Amino acid sequence: MAEKIIRTEYSEVMQKSYIDYSMSVITARALPDVRDGLKPVQRRVLYAMDQLGLNYDKPHRKSARIVGDTMGKYHPHGDSSIYETLVVLSQDFKKGMALVDGHGNFGSIEGDGAAAMRYTEAKLKKFTQDVYLADLDKNVVDFVPNFDETEKEPEVLPVRVPNILVNGADGIAVGMTTNIPPHNLSEVVDAVCAYMDNEDITTDELMQLCPGPDFPTGGIVINKSELGAIYETGTGKIKLRGKVVFEPAKNRSEKDKLVITEIPYTMIGANIGKFISDVVSLIETKKTTDIVDISNESSKEGIRIVLELKKNADVKNLENLLYKKTKLEDTFGVNMLAIVDGRPETLGIKDIIKHHINFQYELATRKYTTLLEKEKANREIKEGLIRACDIIDLIIEILRGSANLKMAKDCLVNGNVEGIKFKSEQSKKQAAGLDFTEKQAGAILEMRLYKLIGLEILNLQKEYDECVKKIEKYEKILGSRKEMAKVIKSDLLNIKKEYGVARRTVIED
């Protein structure tokens, strides 16, 4: 083969290659899509689990099987990143609403890693099935070829709540990062409904319904007055504190205690150990003499870090020292960056909700168009069967007199009576006037004889009436944005009613 040498400036090649690489990382790896709030790897894990049939009411399946399917079919990158995604999707201390039901050791809030994927098992949660994966069969989203064009995968999942707010997101791309805190599902739904009622609503009015982040670890947000600007621009710093409770001694043998029952979200993982070692160094360097002992009594029930105090300790002063010198008070850097129409954009809360609602209208339009077409086809067949029941004797005569199926069908559709033997001229004349559609003729020829029982014919009429009602309903929804908004809101309120949880994080100044 002849060599092909391209003469070019080396720096230009490097520049072009690096820009291509960084765009790929930004759009196809590290940042969530504003529509479903998921990064590609998360979307692919959930879709692979859906394809494996790992429904909430079925048994758990080995994580290795889920990772293998995701990697082999949709995500041709390392298995460790896929398994890590699966683990994080199941951790309720990291996600506002966990999407995967993990079985086995899926890590802990103190930073312990999950067991190897050959030991753990997982399946989808009911919430995920109802809110993230429902209606995939109704042509609501586009499917695109996978990396080797042997499978199809959804471009985006038909998520019905603003997942980017509910579960937050974090990711490091090239030259940009995203860091979105989780929020309370019920509050986010209320904000979306308010925006649907009034598109000119201000960020401040939205924040009366959704006042700020709601971290799964609880804690206290202490800069309430700055949140308005953060949610308007999509960037800023949230100041977070853990929750400290004073427990006086119950008897003489006991000591007074300061108990940390909630930690800042940023303290998850190794930072809990770091906090304890920071407190120990405060004691060793004599910065405080009020602490006698420190122990970590955290369990599945929740966080409980106990500081035993000496008699007459200055509790308020000690609390302030802990906030100042340890990770018990920390900042969460907000940067609400997401992919909008294939490009990264920094969004305020109002923009996120606006994009979400546009997506919901698109999903609803496609869903009800698909359902309408299905019901119209159904109506056509039912009309044909009802009409056939009225002239069943003639149809039986045509079938008995025809030489083959093609001849009988031709007669039903076009009234062609050539070659068919009839008992009388009147029947022949009647048959010549038939004009069933292709679908109707097919259904008539496949109809079983028991369908001619009186009750079955009544049933057929009843099904036809129901079908007509559904068509009216779908046409009404598709014909008016107001009606569609009603349906979307009603869906959202049902989700809130079934899955909503109380707020965990306190917001104050």
pLDDT digits over 361-397, tens only?
999 999 999 999 999 999 999 999 888 888 888 988 8
Six token digits for residue 169: 């997101």
Tell me how far apart the 2 most distant CA atoms of the chain are, in Å. Answer: 115
pLDDT digits over 474-508, tens only?
999 999 999 999 999 999 999 999 999 999 999 99
CB 388 within 8 A of CB 452: no
- Give the CA distances from residue 127 to residues 119, 131, 160, 166, 353, in Å, rounded to whole numbers and listed in that order: 25, 6, 11, 13, 20
Q: What is the mean pLDDT of residues 323-337?
A: 93
Percent of the chain exceeding pLDDT 70 equals 100
On the question of pLDDT at 360 being above 90, the answer is: yes
Q: What is the mean pLDDT of residues 134-163?
A: 94
CB 411 within 8 A of CB 398: yes
SS3 content of the chain, % helix, strand, coil (to 5): 50, 15, 35
Closest by alpha carbon to 187, among 505, 482, 503? 503
Compute and round to an integer the Cα radius of gyration of the chain: 32
What 3-state class would DSSP assign to 16?
Answer: helix
The per-residue pLDDT for 300 is 81
- Per-residue confidence at 428, pLDDT binned at 50, 70, 90? confident
**What residue ranges in 188-304 does DSSP mark as E strands?**
220-221, 235-241, 243-247, 257-262, 291-296
What 3-state class would DSSP assign to 329?
Answer: strand
pLDDT digits over 157-196, tens only?
999 999 999 999 999 988 889 999 999 999 999 999 999 9
Entry pTM: 0.91
pLDDT digits over 85-135, tens only?
999 999 999 999 999 999 999 999 988 899 999 999 999 999 999 999 999
Residues recognised as catalytic: 119
| C-alpha to C-alpha distance for 295 and 298, rounded to whole angstroms | 9
The per-residue pLDDT for 255 is 86
456 or 14, higher pLDDT: 14
pLDDT digits over 241-300, tens only?
999 999 888 887 788 889 999 999 999 988 888 999 999 999 899 888 888 889 988 888
Q: What is the mean pLDDT of residues 54-59?
A: 95
On the question of pLDDT at 1 being above 70, the answer is: no
| C-alpha to C-alpha distance for 38 and 171, rounded to whole angstroms | 11
Q: Check residue 266 and report its DSSP letter.
A: G
